[in-house]
């Protein structure tokens, strides 16, 4: 039986970690307000490219640290593969963008994208140690250490932001890049120190290179395709509507980070636990864990959606963002439509644990086609305010496909989606009995 109280320490550190990201979300709002939509749009495109490159490498390369890393005798071979090919892929992709900066800027009709392309390789170099180290910490479920690494990252960026706001220096893409690069560099140094002993290249078991690439090809393709909608939707917005619209759209995505970080926290807990329970064939416990995750998070997102529809989003955004980002209200209200589907997307690790990577890739292809079709139609019909519908269509389609499969494989009764209600009542009753 999976009991939350048995994992309260790790859950507490994970919650604290996500609180950091939510705190930085408010700092993001201050940054957005200080920048013009054009400058924010440029930084958004740079950040999206960096995240996309690292996400692709995570799917193709770094996932091997978790998937195969349970075999301690093979960790030397795994580390050699992960370190070498992560560096090759990340640097190769960022340098390719740098070399193609002129056609890149021409295609998206923004001359200053050459500057973005020139800064991208440095951004990626600074992030390589951090992303490698975090994967080791995730594999070993070291929640406190993950919190430490992210606290340095976010703390550095908050300090830089405060200094630039005080001196009036936060007015350009270059200033935002300096903030992000400083945080990334400081975080990487600390992450390397914490995980220095985990970078061992010794091991009695050797895994051939072809096995790594064969095992990672489907998951890598899934990550590449999925992030084309999640991250590179801003390039489509840039192509059709320009940099200023990207900036306003990004301000809405910043507010939507509440949902993103919440489900990132859930996935970081569910993934290693799912891998272990499937490996040990403890399916009743897996079903219990997943049903609790789905039920509680679904009710929470439905509640947030209801608040948004009753005007809470407009009230909050009008007070958080400056007038130049007033159109972000409409973007946010559309983005929130994807929130109730996100708990079902968080079931993705179940498909990985069950070895259904090919099927997952098919699901993601269908979802990506849905998202990009909607994005294309939004652009063709010149409806910039509907740009979030691409992400919404992608998320809902992927959620439906994953949940239908997991429900069939694990014999998941729909009634378990409501278990949060009796579980909460039982918990409150237990507290009441203890207090009396």
DSSP string, 247-289: HHHHHHHHHTHHHHHHHHHHHHHHHHHHHHHHHTT-HHHHHHH
Tell me the C-alpha to C-alpha distance, in Å, between residue 73 and each of 197, 205, 206.
15, 5, 8
Angle among Cα 110, 115, 120 to the nearest 5 degrees reads 115
Question: How would residue 1 be classed by pLDDT, with cut points 50, 70 and 90?
Answer: very low
Burial of 6 (0-12, 13-18, 19+ CB in 10 A): exposed
Categorize the per-residue pLDDT at 5 as very low, low, confident or very high, splitting at 50, 70 and 90: very low
Section 233-259 average pLDDT: 87
Who has greater pLDDT, 133 or 354?
Answer: 133
Q: Is 99 left (phi over 0), alpha (psi -120 to 50) or beta?
A: alpha
Say if CB 366 and CB 401 are below 8 A apart.
Answer: yes
Mean pLDDT of 206-234: 78
Cβ proximity of 332 and 252 under 8 Å: yes
pTM comes to: 0.81
Lowest mean pLDDT among 251-255, 296-300, 432-436: 432-436
Selected residue with higher pLDDT from 251 and 180: 180
Sequence-separated (6 or more) residues with CB below 8 Å from residue 337: 305, 392
Q: What would the mean pLDDT of 303-313 be, rounded to a whole number?
A: 76
CA distance 202 to 361: 33
pLDDT per residue as tens digits for the range 44-96: 999 999 999 998 898 888 887 777 766 677 777 888 888 899 999 999 999 99
How do residues 92-117 score in pLDDT, each as one tens digit? Answer: 999 999 999 999 999 998 999 999 99
For residue 426, what pLDDT is reported? 58
Contact assessment for residue 14 and residue 303, using Cβ atoms and an 8 Å cutoff: no
Contact 18, 261 (CB under 8 A): yes
Rounded CA-CA distance 311/329 in Å is: 10
Residues 32 and 264: beta-carbon distance below 8 Å: no
pLDDT digits (tens, 9 = 90+) for 383-434: 998 999 999 999 999 999 999 988 888 887 777 777 666 656 555 555 455 5
The more confidently predicted of residues 433 and 369 is 369
Picking from 128, 121, 149, the residue whose alpha carbon sits closest to that of residue 85 is: 128
- Kindly tell me the burial class for residue 151, based on how many C-beta atoms sit within 10 Å of its own C-beta (0-12, 13-18, 19 or more): middle
C-alpha distance from residue 200 to each of 78, 81, 195, 384 (Å):
10, 12, 10, 50
What is d(CA 92, CA 85) in angstroms, rounded to the nearest whole number? Answer: 10
Q: What is the pLDDT of residues 130-187, one digit of tens each?
A: 999 999 888 877 788 999 999 999 999 999 999 999 999 999 999 999 999 999 999 9
Q: Choose among 249, 263, 269: nearest CA to 389.
A: 249
pLDDT at site 284: 79
The pLDDT score that the predictor gives to residue 2 is 45
């Amino acid at each position: 039986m999976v009991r939350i109280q048995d994992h309260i320490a790790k859950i507490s550190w994970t919650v604290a970690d996500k609180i950091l990201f939510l705190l930085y979300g408010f700092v993001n709002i201050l940054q957005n307000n200080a920048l013009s939509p054009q400058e924010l749009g440029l930084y958004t495109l740079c950040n999206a490219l960096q995240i996309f490159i690292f996400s692709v490498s995570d799917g193709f390369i770094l996932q091997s640290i978790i998937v195969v890393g349970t075999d301690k005798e093979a960790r030397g071979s795994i580390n050699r593969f992960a370190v070498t090919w992560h560096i090759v892929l990340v640097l190769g992709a960022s340098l390719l963008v740098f070399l193609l900066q002129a056609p890149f800027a021409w295609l998206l009709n923004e001359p200053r994208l050459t500057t973005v392309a020139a800064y991208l390789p440095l951004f990626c170099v600074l992030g390589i140690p951090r992303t490698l180290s975090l994967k080791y910490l995730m594999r070993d479920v070291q929640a406190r250490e993950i919190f430490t690494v992210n606290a340095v990252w976010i703390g550095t960026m908050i300090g830089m932001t405060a200094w630039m706001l005080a001196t009036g220096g936060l007015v350009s893409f270059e200033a935002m890049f300096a903030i992000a690069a400083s945080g990334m560099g400081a975080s990487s140094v600390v992450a390397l120190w914490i995980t220095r002993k985990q970078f061992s290249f010794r091991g009695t078991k050797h895994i051939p290179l072809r096995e790594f690439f064969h095992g990672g090809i489907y998951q890598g393709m899934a990550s590449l395709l999925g992030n084309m909608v999640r991250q590179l939707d801003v390039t489509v917005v840039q192509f059709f509507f320009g940099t200023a619209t990207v900036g306003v759209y990004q301000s809405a995505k910043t507010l939507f980070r509440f949902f993103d970080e919440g489900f990132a926290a859930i996935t970081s807990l569910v993934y290693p636990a799912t891998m272990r329970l499937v490996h040990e064939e403890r399916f009743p416990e897996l079903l219990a864990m997943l049903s609790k995750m789905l039920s509680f998070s679904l009710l929470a997102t439905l509640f947030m959606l209801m608040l948004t529809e009753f005007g809470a989003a407009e009230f909050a955004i009008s007070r958080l963002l400056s007038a130049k980002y007033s159109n972000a209200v409409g973007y946010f209200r559309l983005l929130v439509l994807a929130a109730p589907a996100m708990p079902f997307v968080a079931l993705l690790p179940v498909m990985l644990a069950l070895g259904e990577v090919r099927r997952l890739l098919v699901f993601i292809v269908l979802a990506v086609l849905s998202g990009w079709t909607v994005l294309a139609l939004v652009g063709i019909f010149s409806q910039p305010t509907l740009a979030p519908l691409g992400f919404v269509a992608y998320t809902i389609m992927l959620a439906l496909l994953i949940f239908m499969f997991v429900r069939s494989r694990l014999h998941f009764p729909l009634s378990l989606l409501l278990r949060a209600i009796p579980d909460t009542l039982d918990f409150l009753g237990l507290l009441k009995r203890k207090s009396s």
